[in-house]
Structure 1
C-alpha cells in the first residue's frame, strides 16, 4: 500500500522486523529460587516480568512500521542453557563457599595435612585458613603482610564443621584410617587387574595425603585407571568412618560419606563407570544423568529430550552398558519401593494419557523419593560437573571430589561441584592434561579474558605427572614426549607392538609416516548435529586416505574397527566416509580430532586438509597468516591429540610445504625426515612385510603373554 511511505511497499500485517536483544535481570526468588529442571512446573506458575533491551542494529534506517504505536511483535525467547545457569550460580555462590574451595578458586595457599606415622595429629577442624585476600601465584609461598611495626599475620578463621547428620566426627577417620593407608608400600587394589607404576602410586598417595591434588595424565598413561584407584581408596577410607555397631532396629545405615566423580562430558565419566562395574557390589557406584538425558529413554512432559545442552545426540544419550548402575533405571526396578508406581506412570505416558499439573506434581514427588532411596544407598556417585548441581544430589554427604578431564572444563564449570558440596568436601582431585584439548570457548572476548584456560592449567606447575605410557609404539611416542612433555614421557619397557605394515619402498615398516599431497581446498557448508557450519575439504587427500585404508583392510590384514581417520574439519570427515562407502569399506572410525580424545586405535590416519598455491606460502608467517591459511591445524593441543591416538602406526597426509610454515609442524616434519618416513602420499603403501621381523615381534608378544591362546598370533609363528 502506498500509505506506508516510500521505503515500504509491503502489507504491514505480513511485515517482519528482526532484531537482537537481551533480557534484563529478574528476581530468582520469583522463579522459585532454584534453576533446576526438577522444579520446572513450580517456576512456570510464578509471575514474571522481563524487560528486553533491543540492541542497536547496523541499519541506515529503522523501518517506520516498527515505530508505529500500533506495531505488534513476536518475541522469540532463547533461554540460557542449564549448564550456563549453573556456572553463573557457582560463581555467585563462591563467596559463601568453604575456605578450601575459596582457596582453590582464588589461588591462595592451601594448608597441607601431613599424617606422620607417630606423634600428634591435628583435626581438619583445628586447621586455620587465611581469609581470601589479594591473589598470589600458586607457587609463591605464603608470607605474612608487612606493617610499620613488622610482619602482620592475616586474620584467620576456622574451617566450618561439615554437616554430617548422625555420622561421627572425623577424628577417627583422619587419625587412624588415612595415616594407615599412607603406610602402604603401593596402592594396587587387592585382586585387581592393574599394577601401578611409581608415578601412579605417587599420584594416589598424594590424593590421600593432601586436600588438593592435581594429576597430569599424558596420552596412554592410565589417568582414568589412577582415578579408579583413588576412588577405591577414598571409598575404603569412607567405609572406615561408618559406625561399626548396627542400629538398634537392625536397619541399614544410610546417607554415609561418599565420593563424587565428575567430568565435563558424559564420556569422561562413563569410562570410569565401566571400570567400576566389576566392583559394583563392593563400591556401590551410581551413575546419575541429567533430566534431559533421562528423557531420551523415559520422556517426561515439560522436559526436552532433544540434543543435550547443545552437545551431540550421542553425547546426550545414557550409556547402555551402565544400565545396572544408572539412577533412572534403578528407580524403576526392584528393590526400589517406588518402582511400580513410576513404571505405571511411564506406561500411561506411552499410551498418550494427558496428565494434569497435579498429576505431574505427584509424579515428581515420587521420582524425588525414589532417587533419594537410591542415593542414600550408594557410595560412589558419577555425573557431569553440571549435573552435580541437580537438586536431587543435595542430600549427598560428599567428602571427596574427583574431576576427570579437568583440562577440558572451564573454571566456572569446575567450580560447580566444588561450590555445591563445599560444606562437606575434604579432598579435591583434578585429573587431566592441559597439553591436550582445552575448554571450548568460541567468543574471542571471553578468550581474551582467559576463559579458555582451565583451572587445571592454572595449577599445572603443581601437578604430579604420570610418566609412563602404555599405548603407543615407542617411535610414535618419541616426538610428542619431547615436544609437549619435556622428554619426560617414556614408554613402558615391556610394551611390544607388531611392526607397522605401512611404509614405502625404501622403508617397508614405518611407525610414523608422512605422505605429502598438495591438492586443493573446498569451502563447504556442512550440516552437523550441532547445526550448520562452514567447513573445508580436500578431495586429493580424500583419495589418498581411502586408498591407504583399502590397502590396509585388503584380505582383512587389519580389521577396519582398528583404524581411525582423524581430521580437523567435518566436511573432510564426511567426504572420507562417503569415499570409504563407495569402495565397500565399513567399520572404520572417521571423526574429528576434538572427538577422539580418550580413544585409541591400532592404525590412525590424520588428514590435515589445508593447502594453498605455492605463490601464497610465506616462510616468515605472522599469526594472522597462520590463522588464515592453516586454521585449527596449528593448534598444538589438537596436534598433540591427533598424533597420540595410534598404537602401532600413525600416517599423516597433508601439504608439507605449507605445514612447514608452522614451527610445530616444521619440527614434526624434520622428525619424519630423520626417520626416512617423509614421502609423497602416492608412495605410502602396504609393502610386503619382512617375515623375520614379524616372527621376532610375534614371538616376544607370545612369550610375554605366557602363551595365551591367540590364533592370529600362533598363525604368525
Structure 2
C-alpha cells in the first residue's frame, strides 16, 4: 500500500505459461511485453482477420503507425515456419450457414465449419428471397449527402459526416418487418460507419416506440458481440447532380461517367468507408446469428473493394440481391 514512501521494488513474477487473449487487438509491444513473465510457454489467442489494434496517436510517423497497427499474430503467420504452431478454431457456433458462407471462403480459406443450434424463430419469408438463405442485399441507388458529424465538448460541430436518406428509409422498413414478425428490438442491431447516418437512423427509429432497444453503432461497437439480426447501411453512393452512374451490362457492375467528372473518378479509386479494411467488412458480416440485411449502392461499393465485389456477385448468383422491399417486405430480385 502506498504510504508516501518508496516501497520495495520486487522482481517480476514468473509463470510457467502466459496466455494472451484478444492478441490481435493489441499492438505488438503490448503483446510482446507480456512474454517477459513466461518461463516456458506463451499461448497467443486472437483473430488477425478481424479488427486489429487501434492507434489513436496520429502524430507518429506513418511507417511506425503502420507497424503498430499490424497485429502480432499476422506478422508471425507470415513466416512459414510458424504455421506448425498455429491452431485454427474452425467450428463456428454463431451464424446461420448462409451467413457464414462468404466469410469462410473469402477470409478463412473455406475452413469454417458449422455447429449451430437454431431454436425456433419466425421463418420471415417476407424478407429472405430464398428459403435457405438468410442474407439479403438491397441495391439502393439513392445519393449520399453531407450531414452533421462529431461535435466538440462545447457543442460546436468540428467534423462533416455523410448520410444516405434513402438507405435510412430502407433500414427503418427492414426493422419494421422484423418487429412486426415478432422479433425483439434487443435482437436487432444496425451497423453504419458514419455519424450522420447513425443520427439519421436513430431519428427515424425514435418514431417507433417499440424500436427503443435497437442498437445503432459502428463496426467497433459490435466487435466481440452478436445479434440475431444485423442490418448494415454502407452509405457511400453518388452525389446528386454531380455523378452519373450507368450500367454497362446486365450485371450492373460497371461504373462509367463523363471524363470531366474528377469527383467520381476519385470515389472509384479510393477505399470507401467500411470497405477501407477487409477486417472491418469481415467483422460486419459476422455479427449476425440468424439474419443479415445489407443496404448499399452495389456499383459504387464494388468499385471500391474487390472483397465487396466478390460478396455481392456471390449473393446475386444465389438470388439474394434485390432492388427494393415493397410494402409487405417481399423482395424484388435483381439479376446477377
Q: Distance in 2 between matches of 1:394 and 1:596?
A: 39
Describe how 1:69-108 pairs up with structure 2 within 5 A. Answer: none
Describe how 1:180-579 pairs up with structure 2 within 5 A. Answer: 362=3, 396-419=13-36, 421=37, 425-441=39-55, 443=58, 445-446=62-63, 450-460=67-77, 462=83, 463-492=86-115, 498=121, 500-501=123-124, 503-504=126-127, 507=130, 510-527=133-150, 533-554=159-180, 557-579=182-204
5+ residue gaps, structure 1: 1-337, 339-360, 370-390, 688-717
Q: Is contact 2:96-2:116 (8 Å) kept?
A: no
Post-superposition Cα deviations, 1:216-249, rounded to whole Å, max 9, x if no partner, equal xxxxxxxxxxxxxxxxxxxxxxxxxxxxxxxxxx
Q: CA deviation at 1:449?
A: 5.0
2:291 is paired with a residue whose SS is strand
Higher strand share: 2
Q: CA deviation at 1:588?
A: 0.6
- Deviating beyond 6 angstroms after TM superposition, the runs of 4 or more aligned structure 1 residues are 528-531
Greater RCO (Cα-Cα under 8 Å, separation 6 or more): 2
Q: 1:646 to 1:523 in 2, by over 3 A?
A: same
5+ residue gaps, structure 2: 247-253, 258-263, 331-336
Q: CA deviation at 1:396?
A: 3.9
Post-superposition Cα deviations, 1:265-316, rounded to whole Å, max 9, x if no partner, equal xxxxxxxxxxxxxxxxxxxxxxxxxxxxxxxxxxxxxxxxxxxxxxxxxxxx
What is the aligned partner in structure 2 of residue 655 from structure 1? Answer: 297
TM-score (norm 1): 0.38
Q: Does 1:680 align with 2:323?
A: yes
Higher helix share: 1
Q: Is contact 1:516-1:678 (8 Å) kept?
A: yes
Q: Distance in 1 between matches of 2:322 and 2:285?
A: 18
Q: Is contact 1:552-1:558 (8 Å) kept?
A: yes
Q: Is contact 1:602-1:646 (8 Å) kept?
A: yes
Q: 1:473 to 1:685 in 2, by over 3 A?
A: farther
Q: CA deviation at 1:401?
A: 1.9
Post-superposition Cα deviations, 1:338-364, rounded to whole Å, max 9, x if no partner, equal 9xxxxxxxxxxxxxxxxxxxxxx63x6
Q: Distance in 2 between matches of 1:505 and 1:561?
A: 21
Post-superposition Cα deviations, 1:474-518, rounded to whole Å, max 9, x if no partner, equal 111111111111111111176667465264585467400001112
What is the aligned partner in structure 2 of residue 132 from structure 1? Answer: none
1:464 is paired with a residue whose SS is coil
Q: 1:481 to 1:505 in 2, by over 3 A?
A: closer
Q: Is contact 2:192-2:217 (8 Å) kept?
A: yes
What is the aligned partner in structure 1 of residue 227 from structure 2? Answer: 601
TM-score (norm 2): 0.77
Post-superposition Cα deviations, 1:500-548, rounded to whole Å, max 9, x if no partner, equal 5264585467400001112222233423699954422111111110121
RMSD: 3.5
Q: Distance in 1 between matches of 2:120 and 2:111?
A: 21
